[in-house]
Amino acid sequence: MTLFLQQLMNGIGNGVIYASVALALVLIYRTTGVLNFAQGEMALFSTYITWKLTDWGVGIVAAIFISMLIAFAMGALVELVLIRPVEKKPPFVVLIVTIGMFLALNSITQLVFGTDEKQLPSAFGDHSWSVGDVRITGEFVGLICVLALTCTLLWILLQKTKLGLGLRAVASNPESARLVGISSGTMLMIGWAISASLGALGGAMYVPTTPALTAGSLQAVLVYAFAAAALGGFDSPVGAVVGGLIVGVAEALAIEYIEPLHDITLLVPFLLIGVVLLYRPTGLFGRNIVERV
């Protein structure tokens, strides 16, 4: 039982991180219909900025906030400069542009920050408490609080503010949104900006749980976040969070309890998605798209 709870907690801990990157993916997908392949590498770049700031002596929490602000600006810039020119082109074209960004950003990161391994401190210190036999780390509690806070803020932003209404309007019907005077370009830019800062947050949460920060740090996370988004439904923020948690927990439990899967951990999320998608082809929370014939 102890082992089970411990694995469950590990799973939730990872799941929270997958969920936050998946949220970033979903935000972009909802507003622009683009699957952003470069999401992980954008987050990587921001995480390196966080590291650089701590290297200069800035506290880790402040560093994360500053890098989120920088990521916000960079996300807006990416939309404006790279995505907008191809916005009206077929989805393939946009996909290839994000793949190009993925390749370019990764190597630019290595060029700017060097190829050696870096250590990023955790924002939550290394406290831990024992409840019975189960050890609860400060990191675990912190991760859950951060995700809960992020979700609440996002929900308030999307549902309770005028800006959120604009974002939702553009996501649901860009043409009509423009007709009622919403600047869809600005909304898309803001969508990318928010998404980039969510990525920065996710990266800074994730990297301290790994041995070191390297150029490949966030590639696996991207795959898991894709999985989470697909599981929950690409157009559903709630789905992204639920999907992230399910993928994280399923992975942790499968590694522990299914011996033959020991070194094929990626199989678990994808088998799970495969099965779910067979029954719900647009994910657990995704909308069914009605097609006119």
Partner 1 sequence: MRRVIRIVASLVVVALLLLIPQVVGESINALWAQAVYIAVAAMGLNILTGYNGQISIGHGAFYGIGAYTSAILMENSGWQFLPTIPVVVGVALVAGAAFGFPALRLKGLYLALITLGLAAVFPDLINRFASKYGTGGTSLIQPPRVLAPGWADSFADFDDQYRYYMALTIAIVMAVLAANLVRGRYGRALVAVRDHESAASVLGINVARVKVSAFALSAAYAAVAGSLSVLIEGSANAGKIEVFQQSILFLVAVVIGGTATVAGPMVGAVIVVFVQDFAKDLIDDQPVLSPAIFGLVLIVMMYLLPDGLVGGARRLISRVLAKPEVGQPAIPDVSTH
Q: Which residues bind partner 1 (CB under 8 A)?
A: 29, 35, 82, 85-86, 89-93, 95-97, 99-108, 110-111, 115, 216, 223, 226-227, 229-230, 234, 263-267, 269-270, 273-274, 277-278, 281-283, 291, 293
3-state secondary structure 277-290: HHHCCCCCCCCCCC
Least distance in angstroms from the C-beta of 43 to partner 1 = 17
| H helix or E strand, kind and range, residue 73 | helix 60-78
By C-beta, is 123 or 246 nearer to partner 1?
A: 246
Least distance in angstroms from the C-beta of 121 to partner 1 = 26
Beta carbons of 234 and 283 less than 8 angstroms apart: yes
| Measured distance CA(26)–CA(167) in Å, rounded | 13
By C-beta, is 9 or 247 nearer to partner 1?
A: 247
Least distance in angstroms from the C-beta of 103 to partner 1 = 3
Least distance in angstroms from the C-beta of 87 to partner 1 = 11
- Angle at the Cα of 41 from the Cα atoms of 111 and 64, rounded to 5 degrees: 90
* Half-sphere exposure in the Cβ direction for 155 (13 Å, CA): 8
By C-beta, is 137 or 195 nearer to partner 1?
A: 195
DSSP letter for each residue of 107-151: HHHHHHH-SS-B----TTTT-EEEETTEEEEHHHHHHHHHHHHHH
By C-beta, is 59 or 91 nearer to partner 1?
A: 91
| Measured distance CA(288)–CA(293) in Å, rounded | 15
Least distance in angstroms from the C-beta of 241 to partner 1 = 18
Q: What are phi and psi of 38, to 5 degrees?
A: -85, 5
By C-beta, is 141 or 261 nearer to partner 1?
A: 261
| Measured distance CA(28)–CA(37) in Å, rounded | 11
Q: Which two tokens stand for residue 272?
A: 């799970």
By C-beta, is 151 or 267 nearer to partner 1?
A: 267
Least distance in angstroms from the C-beta of 4 to partner 1 = 25
